[in-house]
């Protein structure tokens, strides 16, 4: 019998400190950096984001999200036999945030590793977990996106620091006789490393280069809309479906204008697009599972709905996963 994978539970967590545009603008003004609520809302659709306290790590945010997903799936942490965690802001250089999360969950023995594909991380992680379940390497996978992007923001650069936030989202992906995940499509193009990166690294006990986020916003914008359309169409074709079969598009929450552009190209009305960027900002690998969990808990996304998850980010990386929820 063909083996598939299916999401059996979702969870998410936002750190308690919610920072509105007005609060951020006032804080930036005190550093001589000028921005406004109006500019941020008009260009991005973001009204607020959450920032973690300085001593809170990605695995700290991942833990309550993971516990919620495990509870929603009706299983115990000890039933998990694979952890794949997508992050670009891991707790340490090594070991992986996935191993740290495993220990915080009080479990041991199952494989646990991080996936680094920046804002595409969650669709990469979900695709890897799906493949491992299909081959029989796992039966109950915990797939997480967790980020503390506030740690790598340059608060003297108004073109980037207003865009991002912190948070975590998680799903339990279980082996199933019926799909589940219908198709996925992943890509990368390393020629675009420089348009979105944190170029610094640790070397000889010191930080070498700039450890803060750099972005060519317009270059990212232009690439993002095109590749998101391509990935959605390729995934639909693999599954033998059309855009009309999508109940909900859950794109990476980077910017409302990127989401509107993608929906327009796919001829999907915006009322079929899950939008949380207004309240979360861009939480990179956490944004899709955060949006998924919010829409499940609000009752928008229901069992049996067909969902298109789409990510795009640094690398340049992009991809999509089509699934029956
Ligand atoms: N507040 C006020 N003014 C600002 C701010 C700010 N926060 N940031 C930039 N400006 C100014 C610029 O200095 C510029 O002023 P000038 O005309 O006097 O030179 C003006 O606003 C316009 O700047 P642009 O960069 O042309 O603004 P644009 O309309 O392109 O919007 C943005 C910038 C929002 C970054 C846009 O390019 C974008 O959304 N790009 C996509 C990038 C993205 O979403 N990245 C997320 C990470 S990647 C990912 O997740 C896919």
Q: For 128-144, what is each residue's pLDDT tens digit? A: 999 999 999 999 999 99
Q: What is the pLDDT of residue 204?
A: 95
pTM: 0.97
Residue closest by Cα to atom 7 of ligand 1? 158
The model's confidence at residue 162, banded by pLDDT at 50, 70 and 90, is: very high
Catalytic residue among 21, 255, 280, 282: 282
- Mean pLDDT over the full length of the chain: 97
The answer on 172 and 199 residing in a single domain is: no
Choose one of 145, 176, 207: the last residue of a domain: 176
Work out the pLDDT band at 6, boundaries 50, 70, 90. Answer: very high
Regarding whether 131 and 41 lie in a shared domain, the answer is yes
Look at the chain and report how many structural domains it folds into: 2
The last residue of a domain, from among 151, 176, 201: 176
pLDDT tops 90 at residue 94? yes
Q: Are residues 116 and 96 in the same domain?
A: yes
Print burial letters for 139-169: b (CB count within 10 Å at least 16), e (below 16).
bbbbbbbbbbbbbbbbeeebebbbbbbbbbb
Catalytic annotation present for 187? no
282 ligand 1 Cβ < 6 A: yes
**CB of 155 shorter than 6 A to ligand 1:** no
Last residue of a domain, one of 176, 209, 236: 176
pLDDT exceeds 90 at position 271? yes
CA of 260 to the centre of ligand 1 (A): 17
Q: Decide if pLDDT at 1 tops 90.
A: no
Tell me if 274 CB under 6 Å of ligand 1.
no
The active-site residue, picked from 119, 161, 255, 280, is 119
């Amino acid at each position: 019998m063909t083996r598939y994978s299916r999401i059996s539970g979702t969870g998410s967590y936002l750190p308690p400190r919610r920072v509105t545009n007005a609060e951020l603008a006032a804080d930036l003004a005190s550093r001589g950096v000028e921005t406004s609520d109006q500019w941020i809302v008009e260009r991005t659709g973001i009204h607020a984001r959450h920032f973690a306290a300085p001593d809170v790590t990605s695995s700290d945010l991942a833990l309550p999200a993971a516990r919620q997903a495990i509870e929603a799936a009706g299983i115990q942490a000890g039933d998990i036999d694979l952890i794949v965690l997508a992050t670009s802001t891991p707790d340490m250089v090594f070991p992986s945030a996935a191993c740290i999360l495993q220990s915080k969950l009080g479990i041991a023995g199952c494989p646990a590793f991080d996936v680094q594909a920046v804002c595409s991380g969650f669709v990469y992680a979900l695709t890897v977990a799906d493949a491992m379940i299909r081959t029989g390497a796992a039966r109950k996978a915990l797939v997480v996106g967790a980020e503390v992007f506030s740690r790598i923001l340059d608060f003297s650069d108004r073109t980037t620091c207003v865009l991002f936030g912190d948070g975590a989202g998680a799903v339990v992906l279980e082996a199933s006789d019926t799909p589940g995940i219908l198709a996925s499509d992943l890509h990368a193009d390393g020629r675009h490393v420089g348009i979105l990166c944190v170029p610094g690294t640790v070397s000889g006990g010191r930080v070498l280069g700039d450890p803060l986020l750099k972005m060519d916003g317009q270059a990212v914008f232009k690439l993002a809309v095109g590749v998101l359309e391509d990935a959605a169409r390729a995934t639909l074709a693999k599954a033998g479906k059309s855009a009309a079969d999508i109940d909900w598009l859950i794109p990476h929450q980077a910017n409302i204008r990127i989401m509107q552009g993608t929906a327009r190209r796919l001829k999907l009305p915006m009322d079929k697009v899950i939008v949380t960027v207004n309240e979360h900002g861009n939480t990179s690998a956490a944004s899709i599972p955060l949006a998924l969990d919010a829409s499940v808990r609000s009752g928008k996304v229901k069992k049996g709905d067909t969902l298109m998850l789409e990510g795009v980010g640094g690398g340049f990386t992009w991809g999509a996963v089509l699934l029956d929820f």
